[in-house]
């Protein structure tokens, strides 16, 4: 079992560029999440998906979109990247109130 | 809005010292509580969890936490820290029957050898 995988691990974008962060889990979990981690602010929820076909906004959804492609995959899209979106992005899946995290994507927007 | 507060942002200890990290949450209903640890350059890993029952829960690597419902607290403790405990620690709460997790801002622990 790979658990939760994320691609890419690192990415540098210029302001205005778009990109999609990929996340996949092989634990057959219904719930999946996208967080961003910034120094001194902990993890902030961007979007989550309680089950295949559903998505909901978290604390900081502005500037992001998500797609729950199937039960395994949950992608995060930045349509027009801004320097304020420089962060480390973590995907997680959950079952029985426990979360399992991916290794993260470090994104820099210049 | 629900919130999780970790009042210690940065803690520096010497090896063998005792550790207590505070966590308070704001929600009056049933909650499940967690502590996660993030070692430098790594992703978050579950340290311990409380769902119900004995309010004193034990986790991995000698960590424990006590749930005090009247104080809305879930403090993390370890009697004797090691250099390898240097990491960032996050408290998290999920409301019963909901899907959203709420994380504290984290506490960075530096243990001096």
Residues of A in contact with B42 (CB under 8 A): 103
- Closest C-alpha among B76, B72, B5, B6 to residue B35: B76
Residue found by looking up tokens 């993260």 in the block: A104
**Contact check, Cβ <8 Å, B90/A43:** yes
pLDDT tens for the 113 residues of chain B, in order: 668 999 889 999 999 999 999 999 998 788 899 999 999 988 899 999 999 999 999 999 999 999 999 999 999 999 999 999 999 999 999 887 677 889 999 999 999 99
| Residue B40 burial (10 A CB sphere; 0-12, 13-18, 19+) | exposed
Query: What is the interface size between A and B, counted as CB pairs within 8 Å?
Result: 49
């Amino acid at each position: 079992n790979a658990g939760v995988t994320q691609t890419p691990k690192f990415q540098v974008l210029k302001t205005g560029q778009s990109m999609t962060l990929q996340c996949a889990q092989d634990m057959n979990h219904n719930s999946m999440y996208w967080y961003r981690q910034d120094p001194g602010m902990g993890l902030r929820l961007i979007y989550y998906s309680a089950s295949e076909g559903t998505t909901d906004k978290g604390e900081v959804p502005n500037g992001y979109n998500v797609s729950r492609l199937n039960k395994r995959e949950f992608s995060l899209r930045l349509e027009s990247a801004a320097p304020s979106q420089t962060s480390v992005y973590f995907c997680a899946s959950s079952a029985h109130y426990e979360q399992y995290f991916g290794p993260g994507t470090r994104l820099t927007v210049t | 809005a629900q919130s999780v507060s970790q009042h210690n942002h940065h803690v520096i200890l010497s090896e063998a010292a005792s550790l207590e990290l505070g966590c308070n949450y704001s929600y009056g209903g049933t909650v499940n509580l967690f502590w996660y640890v993030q070692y430098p350059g790594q992703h978050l890993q579950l340290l311990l969890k409380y769902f119900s029952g004995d309010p004193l829960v034990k986790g991995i690597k000698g960590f424990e936490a006590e749930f005090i419902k009247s104080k809305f607290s879930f403090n993390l403790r370890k009697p004797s820290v090691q250099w390898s405990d240097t990491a960032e620690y996050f408290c998290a709460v999920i409301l019963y029957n909901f899907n959203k997790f709420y994380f504290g801002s984290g506490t960075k622990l530096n243990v001096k050898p």
